[in-house]
Amino acid sequence: MFDLNGKNVVYVGGFSGIGYQVCHLLMKKNISHLIVMGRMENVEMMQKLQAENSSVEVVFIHMNLMDRANIEQAVKQVMGVIKHIDVLINGAGVLADKDMETTMGVNLMGMMNMVWLCLPYMDKMQMGQGGIVMNIASVYGLEPAPAFPVYAAAKHGVIGFTRSMADQHHYQHTGVAFFVVCPGLTTSEMMVNLREKSMMGQQSYAGELVKAMGHAKHQSPEDCAMNIVNAMEIMKNGAVYLCNMGQLKEVMPTNYWHL
């Protein structure tokens, strides 16, 4: 089990839906610092988080996940606040298949750049003390998304990257555990205007696919966040979790080839 007490936590993502609820739960864990990194600050939400626990230092740092140089500068700002990172949560997500560059850039490339730039401050062989990297993917990283194939490709990439970084050869040297949580459909701003976001939505036959997503049963952000924090505390290196309808279930991917 991973004890969050006294830990420096960096959360990358927005303030709506799952993101805020995860931060809200972390504030109850007596962490040392909560650093939120994202494109737009929500001052009201930041003040609300800080009011929940005055002993935790809450800081917002502006960052554009589409710009590696900007990410590098933002990480330097983080390290001006803390000396090492114990927990990195990559929770930023975009559902916008019509804009392939943004969909791949935020969901996959931005996440990988964050890991590369933060890892020296986590790696016990460099400037860190070990810790955990949690990447938030999607159920569509585990299975096809006919209405959103670009989003599915990005989230499949998140899982592949996470599992690769969790290899024991890395873990035994760095002390950094990697695992991934795949939420099912969750009530959030992301699920609004799905047809307009889908590259396939303009095809007459694809409308039913988009409509089915909109009408499917969704879990609450609160339930999803609770299981994300549970997965953090379990801290099983290499784990892939499905987080859906209040349940956290480990998925066991098949390995077909070994070195």
What residues are annotated to the active site?
Answer: 151
Q: Report the alpha-carbon distance of residue 226 to residue 22 in Å, rounded.
A: 7
Kind of pairing, strands 8-12 and 247-251? Answer: unpaired
Rounded Cα gap, residues 2 and 217, in angstroms = 32
Query: Residue 48 is encoded by which pair of tokens?
Result: 């609300």
Please tell me the chain's helix, strand, coil percentages from 3-state DSSP, rounded to the nearest 5. 45, 20, 40
Q: What residues contact 178, with CB distance under 8 A and at least 6 apart?
A: 132, 133, 135, 162, 163, 165, 166, 170, 171, 237, 238
Torsion, CA 221, CA 226, CA 228, CA 231, rounded to 10: -160
The distance of Cα 96 from the centroid of its chain, to the nearest Å, equals 17
Name, in order, each residue with C-beta under 8 angstroms of 95's C-beta and a sequence gap of 6 or more.
Answer: 103, 148, 151, 190, 191, 194, 197
